[in-house]
Amino acid sequence: MSNSASPSILSRLPDEEFINRQAELSRVCALAETRGRVHTVGSVANALLLGSPRVGKTEILRKSFDRLFNVSGEICPVYYSVRRSCLDPDRFARDYFAQFLTQFVSFRRGEPKLIALANEPLPVIARAAPPEDYPWAKSLVDSFVSASKAGDPSGFLRVALSSPVLACSHTGLKPLVMIDNFHLLASSDIHSSFLSALEGIPATQETAAYALSSLSRVVTELFPPEKELFDRLQIIRVEKMEADHLETLIRRRAELLAVEISDSTIELMTQQLDRDPFYIRAILDAAGTRGSSLNTFIEFERLYTAEVLGGRIGAYLNALMREVAPSANAGRAVLEVLHLVLEAGSRVPLGTAVERIAEHSPAGEALLARMHSLELLETSYGFVSSSTDPVLSDYVRARYRNEISGAPKPVSGEELLSEKLKDSYRLMMSRYNRAIQSQLVEILSRFDFQNVPVSLFDQVTFDKRYRGMSRVHSRAGLEGEAEKIRLPQIVIVQDTGAGEQAGVSWRLFSATGFEGGIYTEGNEVLWLIALINAKEPLDDETLEMIDQRLESTLRAEQARSRRSSRVIRWYISKEGFSAMALERLSRLNAHRSRYSQLDLLQDYITKLSLGGDHPPATQFELIIPIEDEAELIAARTAEQIARSANFDKEAVGQIKTALIEACINAAEHSDSPDRKIHQRFAIDEEKLIITVSNKGKMFGRTETQSTPAVAAQSARGARGRGLQIIRALMDEVKFERTDDGTRLVMTKYLKRPDDQ
């Protein structure tokens, strides 16, 4: 879902690939509105965008420019990307001034193509201004040329940096100056002029709002610890995209490029490429160019290997290495130290790294500083650590093996491909384990004195009652259980370590809380939890080993807190426990559960939070904005509500898909000034009714149709079949007119266990 597409001017990504960045975009665009209100809440008029390389900061600034330019309002956007070739003050001033002047003239005339005039002589650019602006534009150029001839670099630079404010003062516009790659100014004195503008006099109509984009690590070198500076500066952190948003991006781009891709490959791509959109686009573009599919892991890993060794990814990383070390000897030194810290697997003393570099280059500390600033590695308190970028790690290992170690090159194939195929399975299992661990932590955090069926904590009892039953049958049976266990209220959950051996891995947690609602040491309780992933029921020998680890955790916790709380042990194994292991757990008086019981416990706690064991007809309301991917919020809400109402997994998926389609249709046909979609969820013992409302045209209809019509086919194919999809997935679908818009009412009936 997105706002109506606006023409692209500086942005490089289509709107459908600019995902999950609307909040940052809005914050940047709003900066100039706060100018002049330094004494009011929300008046900060400058911002610093921080984030890792390739996280999307540049595109946020470019999209901000496009949005403000296309609105043609009172805010004049200025975008400038710092380049290494223009770090000399004279060259920088000329380039900055020319870029600003062409953008300003283009904005005033509403002609984006004029931005291309930046390389023309300044008088030519001035003559392109509208007649009413030409006199002062010519005067501005004359002042700039005079300052240049005066031979005063600082004065020359001041004239260039003040030009947006001077130009806007003639037209009543508010300048928003966006400086990309601000960290490149760390090696020059130019950044001090920008800081003077940021920390100067309180904002008035004669100052500009600034948005500066920088790598996180370098910014500490650019900003002095002055309160006045940070009083007028907000920090906008640009984090990596969430996995679900990346999945949307991958599917859209794959469809656009006609690349077949499987769900499992999407998951692997997201994990192996560390949620990096640049790497992901490079792989997909390569697949599209070669006509390759990505349905299997080996297809993906073959293409990945080719890209890292000789494709766009490899070319980018080669350029990054040259930026750090232009000479051959320095490049060898950089590769040596990167490989050293990778193979060490832990922090390396700074002196060791400097010694390794000194074998090939005398500039040891300078090279380390540049590698740190570009996040090729990390230096901290006398130690050097490797980068967290897994693609960079593969690149370094492959280059070192092929160019330095002298390892024989295979007659056919690449060693990197063999390594990645082995890693892919481990990576996917690691992802699965992390998902289960996150689920467990969420469940523990929601422990709040609830009464839940005791069979959820006892594999033996659960198997006697529910073995062979469907999830729906099991949930219905749990509702009728009389024997309950009262949970504590958990306040702290800690990860206490992990381990593995052939075929088995585990992670240990401790959870501290209180029982009975009385917060005293006597009511404090410590839960020790072992989350175990094994392909078969856990045997007694492995259980004994894990139990010893839990005992160590207990002793460490008691030594730390200097008290002995009541201890509860809870062992959760994916496939349960062997007969001997169950006997051991019984002697320990420990809880014993499967992963399936963990799922049911989450469902049960969710249902209690939504209204108790037997809730009456209940309604929930949700309002989402009309912007990219907001429909996923509605889908997650619908999933929780449907699961709490005992809908099975298939029905939950149908409800989510239908709601997503309804939200997209509502957004595309809405004339609502508040850009909102209203939803209501009504549940009772028989059904779930979802109402989606918008203000505006009848979505899914034409003006002359009396029954819902299928929307026109779009470039995304399935979008045009939205109403057909909704009707196929839901039991009842109808439209209702309202005074100010339309309602789509969708009903899904609950199939009881005896109906199946």
Q: Is 430 within 8 Å of 390 (Cβ atoms)?
A: no
The letter for the amino acid at 641 is I
Domain range annotation of the chain: 15-237, 314-407, 446-607, 615-755
pLDDT at 260: 94
Instruction: Record the tokens describing residue 566, joined without a space.
Output: 């009541």
Residue 612 has pLDDT above 60, yes or no: no
pLDDT of residue 671: 62
CATH architecture for residues 314-407: Orthogonal Bundle (1.10)
pLDDT at 673: 61
pLDDT at 702 over 60: no
Q: Comparing C-alpha atoms, which of 648, 608, 617 is closest to residue 456?
A: 608
Q: What is the DSSP string of 209-244?
A: EEEEEEETTTHHHH----HHHHHTEEEEE-PPPPHH
Residue 641 has pLDDT above 60, yes or no: yes
Amino acid at 72: S
**Which range has the worst mean pLDDT, 80-89, 117-126, 552-561?**
552-561
Does pLDDT of 326 surpass 70? yes
The per-residue pLDDT for 503 is 79
Distance CA 259, CA 65 (A): 32
Per-residue pLDDT tens for 138-182? 999 998 888 888 877 777 888 888 888 888 888 889 899 999 998
pTM: 0.65
Query: Which of the residue ranges 24-28, 395-399, 709-713 would you say has the lowest mean pLDDT?
Result: 709-713
More confident residue, 400 or 202: 400
Q: Are 356 and 340 in contact (CB under 8 A)?
A: yes
pLDDT at position 415: 85
**What pLDDT shows up at residue 89?**
85
pLDDT in tens, 257-285: 999 998 888 888 988 999 999 999 999 99
Judged against a pLDDT cut of 90, whether residue 113 lies above it is answered with yes
Fold classified for 15-237: Rossmann fold (3.40.50)
pLDDT band at 724 (very low <50, low <70, confident <90, very high): confident
CATH of domain 615-755: 3.30.565.10
Contact 447, 608 (CB under 8 A): no
- CA angle, residues 19, 20, 25, in degrees to nearest 5: 95
Q: What are the Cα distances from residue 163, in Å, to 116, 158, 326? A: 19, 9, 35
Q: Which of 344-358, 421-435, 504-518, 565-579 has the lowest mean pLDDT?
A: 421-435
pLDDT at residue 700 greater than cutoff 80: no
Which ranges in 237-291 belong to alpha helices (H)?
243-256, 263-272, 277-290
Percent of the chain at pLDDT > 70 equals 87
> Mean pLDDT, to the nearest integer, of 717-726?
62
The answer to whether 233 and 44 are in contact (CB under 8 A) is: yes
